[in-house]
Chains A and B, each alone.
Chain A
Amino acid sequence: MKISRNWIKQYLQVYASADELKRAITFLGFEVEGVVNTGLPALELVVVGEIKSRDKHPNADKLSLCTVDVGPAHGGVRTIVCGASNCDAGNRVPVALPGAVLPGDFKIKQSKIRGQQSDGMLCAAQELGLSADNAGLLLLDPATPIGTSINTALPGGDTVFDIEITPNRPDALCHLGVARELAAWLREDIRFPEIKFRGEASGAPRPDILGEVSVEAPEDCPLYTAFSITGVKVGPSPAWMQERLKAVGLRPINNLVDIGNYVMLELGQPLHVFDAKKIAGRKIVVRRAVDGEKLTTLDGKERALNSRMLVIADEAQPLVIAGIMGGASAEVDATTTDIVIEAAYFRPQSIRWTAKRLGLSSDSAYRFERGVDPHSTLEAAYRAIDLILESAGGTVVGPAFKVGRDRPWQREITFTPEYIRARLGFHISDEDIRSSLEALNLGITSEKIKSNGVEWTVKVPSYRSDLDRPIDLVEEVLRIYGTERVPPAFCSGPALVDGDDDPIVRFNRKVTDYLVGQRFHEVVNYTLRSHKELATWVSQSAAEELALANPFVDDQSHLRPTLVLGLLESLKLNQSRGVPAAQLCETGRVFMEINGTVQECVGAAFLLCHNPKDRTWLARPEPDFYSVKRQVEIIAGEAGIDLAGQELVPVRGAYWGWQEGQSAAAGEMKQGWTVRFGLLNLAMVRSLGVEGKVWGGMFAILPGKLAAATTHPRYQPFTLFPAALRDVALVVETARHAEQVRLALLKTARGITGPGFALEAVEVFDVYQGKGLPEGKKSLAFSLSFRAPDRTLTDDEVNTAFAKLLRDIAVDGSMSVRT
């Protein structure tokens, strides 16, 4: 909200500069978002001068040579070169004398301009820091005495602070509130104009102006007061009031409207002024709107109301959306003579609900929403009445209406100064605590000596309902004592060594470290993706289950079930910008459906792109399925999952955007994890506009599945006796998986090896298909290593076992030994 320094000065001696005030407001806890200075800054050596003569500059068409009288105190008449068109003889203008410093650190010196001596500068308004109007010299009143300081000739000027009031401090949404805070900071006293009206009507009762007030919804309007004034004269408000309203950005309208606004900005209590003759039946009803009821508010918009909204109505129709905005029908105008002033307290929740529902905010709603002090409602009405009587005349007539409770305010907080010190963690004397609190009108009402020291009770003023507990006073003391005075300290605390970093953190770290070490570039993409993308790449059901209720934009409406989509987007962006990008990786949360519920999972994924357009002078082999397979094995391994023991299933169809025949999956989210990898669907990648082939892998795991603590591996002894190696090639159906054959070899070998030795390892080393083999068959060559832990094997025993293995392996006819 905007706070004018001149306005504040009505309540408070302010000797502080604008900068000091800004600092004070800041450290009181209100952020200063802007400072606007109006009027002249303090200017030394800028005085009023009269132009005595004007001649053309001999060497420049657009310049004039003026003689200017600045008064005997400043050396009398001097010559000044001027470029303005209005430097005519007889004009009185501001003259900056040599040595003056104008805004923008513009230093005035004696100088020669195109060969002519110039003894200062004649000034335009902008050069003095006044306005952007640079049309010519600032012409002063011809009666302004020559030689006077420009600050004397043009007094005034103001500083307006735009400050953010935190939601706990509705009391500071007015000048008096901010003045109270500044008074506490500056240790000054508040002087508030005496309020003369004390609620006594001076004329005879006039029920014909306002005859009745009834409140039908007291829960939303606990207090409603109304006063009638007859015989007011509508006209402009006093100049000082207009000045202040304009300073804080309000347009003056007329004395009645302006006073309503003025008192709200002064005391924080919104008021409403009705033209009494426009109140049908001379009766005010505070009621809930009827569903479908309509009211055209002052901003010209028709508002459809409902039965949760509170209105101020007359006999016939709603006149005002209570506490928010009036309708056009009962407003004061130039013909108004009798008025009704409303000062009320509305329940904040009710105002907030209605304002939000209607999408309608106003200065009044803003204050009621945050909470107005219900114990100063009447004071505000009285202040407004004083001002009306002063500037619009009229007589207050009865009956005055006051409907509802005005329970006396009573709140005290009991605490010890020791408690304040203990929470702050540094020493601050009892006296400093006491004076900080007293500066905020938190006077100590009682003092008891207890065994653990003194105990104080402070009385909380009614406008500070945010203060309720001793901890709230810690903040108050520190605010006034000064947060900048918290003494520095060494960062220390008792060691807390229980527990380690979260398993999620450790997993992400390990995976990222690994992939970055493998020359991947880590990227970060948004979590939210579009419906269309999920329906295309994942599934229709994912697109339904992962939807937000209230997305902000269409393309960010769903949680991501995979990181691959974001990675593809990053790849595409780089390609489209001509930036070669081959290896990208990301870790982050993904959301997967399991048995009808969505699970938040830990995810890791990467892409490898081979773009033929990325040319190098020396070709490297393209990545392939097996390059990504190794990467996912390692990533899954970081999560404690050994893919070697898992069944790898080829992907069918365009499942999650993978390419059939070129990709595989292992694990199910039902087991708590899944991995999918291989080539991304070529057609889909192409339709995205991504060039080249893209391989990738993704891994997802439930956070609970990540091992909480790592155990140390146990050392396994190994033998120094040599292995005996044999090779075998087996011919099988082309569709048969190598792993199946390998496992068959291992299984058959078990039991036929001789005493004390075993087939230690079987590794595929060649896969062949084509010439020399029947159609539909392939040959898989394996190297077998036999070993005994305690001796060197003899050829004979190995040969015997190997021969039997070759016989037995072919026995079911599904494979034959290639010879």
Chain B
Amino acid sequence: MQDTLSAILAKASSELVNLKTRADFEAAKARYVGPNGELTALMKQMGAVPKEQRPAMGKLINETKAQLQVQLDSALARIGDREIAAQLGPAVDPTLPSPDAGRGTYHPLTLVREEMCRILRKAGFTVIEGPEVETEYYCFDALNTPPDHPARDAQDTFYFPEKARFGNVTKKTPEEKYLLRTHTSSVQIRTMLKGSPPIRIVSPGRVYRRDTSDATHSANFHQIECLYVDKNVTVRDLKALLDYIFASLFGKDTKTRFRPHYFGYTEPSFEVDLSAQHLPKVNKEWIEIGGCGMVDPAVFEGVGYDPEIWTGYAFGMGLERLAMLMYGIDDIRYFYQNDLRFLKQFA
């Protein structure tokens, strides 16, 4: 018996070390300690062992069993280690690049627009959208543009054929023509007609001019425009808003100045210049950045607001121009070519 036990142990120790898989292990384990295993068979023979030998024999079997269990455990641990090693594969070369794409990027015009909207939201402005296809009334008439003003000219503005029908762009009169808006100021009119004062909106959006494309002109570009209508709105309030916007965008040392100008829909009207220390590629002290003014009483009358009660200001600027200043970009066409070497610089 003792010899048999020793033989089992010897066999197990030589066999178990060579096991490679968990299945082999289970089979081997069954051969020793399974219901039909060799050790199990020996244990079953215990009944035939004389009573006086049983304790010693029992002890011997238990010892063998314990030793066998140690061997089994270590075999299983070894197989587990091998499995993990197989799962892990060879060591990585941490210097190899990830084949996955890098981070996505927002277009610089989106970045600038969202930055402006964020700044203006803090000042209580809500972002409003309007249609890009417009009519003569919303784009010109309501903004106090005389009927024969050059801006309405087919030379400068894109029109649609008379038969064109736009289902979700409302007309004021059936005769008026559809066109592509030349400025976001049309959103002012739609907003004022739809709601009632006080109003404080910012409307970013795409506008169109019938113009040659070059480094500073593009067939479509983007504007961002603010309108505030309330009682007792003043020129000083307008200046304060612009000072706030540009100090937020370009830093506290940024200065703005008003130059008197003319726009049909504001009176008084101003062009806005700004001066900031660290703007790239600017070699002038003052850079023109937008136009603004106090809403002309004629515009209020057109939308049914009493100009004796309501006052307001409006301010508009080009997003491309702002982005060009901010990032030092010198050609507007880059915004529309979408070369990833360009786009990836602004994330």
Contact = CB atoms under 8 A, between A and B. Distances in A.
A474 interface: yes
A208 interface: no
B94 interface: no
A27 B159 CA distance: 36
A598 B104 contact: no
B280 interface: no
B182 interface: no
B168 A549 contact: no
Contact of A703 (B103, B129, B340): B129
A141 interface: no
Contacts of B162: 549
Interface in B248-273: 257-262, 267-271
Interface stretch (B45-53, B64-72, B120-128): B120-128
Contacts of A573: 337-339
Contacts of B17: none
Interface string B150-191: 000110001111101111110000000000100000000000
Given A356-B153, A472-B267, A523 B101 contact: no
Nearest to B198: A496
A168 B105 contact: no
A495 B168 CA distance: 32
Number of chain A interface residues as a range? 35 or more
Contact of B166 (A509, A524, A600): A600
Given A493-B200, A493-B230, A528-B219, A599 B235 contact: no
Contacts of A397: none
B211 interface: yes
Contact of B296 (A166, A471, A583, A585): A471
B244 interface: yes
B200 A521 contact: no
A688 interface: no
Interface string A615-655: 01111100000000000000000000000000000000000
Contact of A491 (B123, B159, B168, B294): B123
Contacts of B235: 423-426, 474, 478, 486
A224 interface: no
A479 B96 CA distance: 66
B59 interface: no
B161 A600 contact: no
Interface in B103-131: 103-107, 109-110, 114, 117, 123-124, 126-129, 131
A594 interface: yes
Given A423-B234, A475-B269, A599-B168, A550 B240 contact: no
A715 interface: no
Contacts of B127: 501-502, 505
B343 interface: yes
B161 A547 contact: yes
Contact of A527 (B107, B206, B234, B240): B206
B243 interface: yes
Interface in A480-527: 483-484, 486-502, 504-505, 509, 512, 515-527
Nearest to A28: B260
Contacts of A426: 234-236
Contact of B104 (A502, A509, A515, A527): A515
21 contacts: A31-B271, A168-B262, A356-B153, A423-B294, A425-B235, A425-B236, A471-B268, A472-B267, A475-B269, A483-B260, A497-B124, A516-B105, A524-B109, A524-B336, A548-B161, A549-B154, A581-B340, A583-B104, A617-B99, A620-B100, A702-B168
The 9 closest A-B pairs by CB, nearest first: A425-B234, A29-B260, A425-B236, A475-B268, A597-B167, A166-B262, A491-B244, A516-B104, A616-B99
Given A423-B235, A598-B167, 9 more contacts: A28-B260, A31-B271, A353-B148, A493-B228, A519-B104, A525-B336, A527-B206, A550-B158, A598-B165
